[in-house]
Amino acid sequence: MVYTVDLENGFTPAERNALIRYALTVGTRAKCATRSLYRSLKMRDLQAAFREREAGHRKTIEEYRRRAEDYEEGATHLPESLTDFFGGVPTKERFVSYCNDRMEQEREEMRRIRKEYHIAVSYTYTPKTLLRFHRSLSPRVTFGYSNVLHEECDFSLTDEVRSAFLRSSLAELPQYEEDWTHDFGYVYFQSVIGLLYEDLAVFRGGRCILETISHESMCTAYLTEEELADFCGFESEKHDNRQILKKIRARAEISEKP
């Protein structure tokens, strides 16, 4: 069984911190993102970021094309948001017209990507030692879900990388709700000039066990019964994990499959 629990409400920063540290300790892989570019921007990286956006638009176009072809009035299930939009169940002709309009919007966005664009980039000075560590996280330049170029990392939690994350800002016990660099998946390396990551996600094997959307103050854990039992004794000298477990069991949604 897997316990899925949102950690925003009812959990303190220190309790979220304990679960993040546990996930990093038992996880095998992690992802995170930067807020700016830590490396000089190369044209090949910019082109790759453009191609990634174009691929996303092509995928959306193909999805609308397939939905238009497969739609049958009264037989194809539509989400409530769409039936509200149409004011009921649309005819085949009306639904196809809707899909065609959406596909044209996507094509227009594709045409504009390389003709008109504004890139807001905040270059951050990074010491060589930290830059070497940053490169070990396999960063790639991307727009992601924003219009700002940044870097996203997808890396194995080797002993060296795991130790570095556990010795980062995550080693400092959060004391205040407003201390945003210590909560919701923000990870800070060095306090004056350093690396700041956000949107931390941790995986164990092929399964996500914790994910965050930092700027939206969202944090979700996906832990099995065995992992909850293991967490009970994790760094118990720092906090009473039994109280955290009580909150998880009281608030979690339980599913059978991991």
Q: What is the DSSP letter of 56?
A: H
- Which tokens in the block code for residue 95? 């639904």
**Buried-exposed string 72-82: b where 16+ CB fall within 10 A, e elsewhere:** eeeeeeeeeee
Name 114's Cβ contacts closer than 8 Å, sequence gap at least 6: 50
Q: Quote the pLDDT of residue 180.
A: 63
What global pTM score does this model have?
0.82
Per-residue pLDDT of the chain (258 residues; tens, 9 = 90+): 999 999 998 998 889 999 999 999 999 999 999 988 888 889 999 999 989 999 999 999 999 999 999 999 999 999 999 999 999 999 999 999 999 999 999 999 888 877 766 666 667 778 888 999 999 999 999 988 777 889 999 999 999 999 999 999 898 766 555 566 678 999 998 766 688 999 999 999 999 999 999 999 999 999 999 999 999 999 987 778 999 999 999 999 988 766
Q: Pick from 200, 216, 209, 116: which is nearest to 161 by CA?
A: 200
Name 75's Cβ contacts closer than 8 Å, sequence gap at least 6: none
d(CA 67, CA 80): 16
Q: Pick from 181, 185, 246, 239: which is nearest to 5 by CA?
A: 246
**Can you give the residue ranges of every domain in the chain?**
2-41+121-255, 52-113
Cα 150 versus chain centre, distance: 14
Amino acid code (one letter) for 170: L
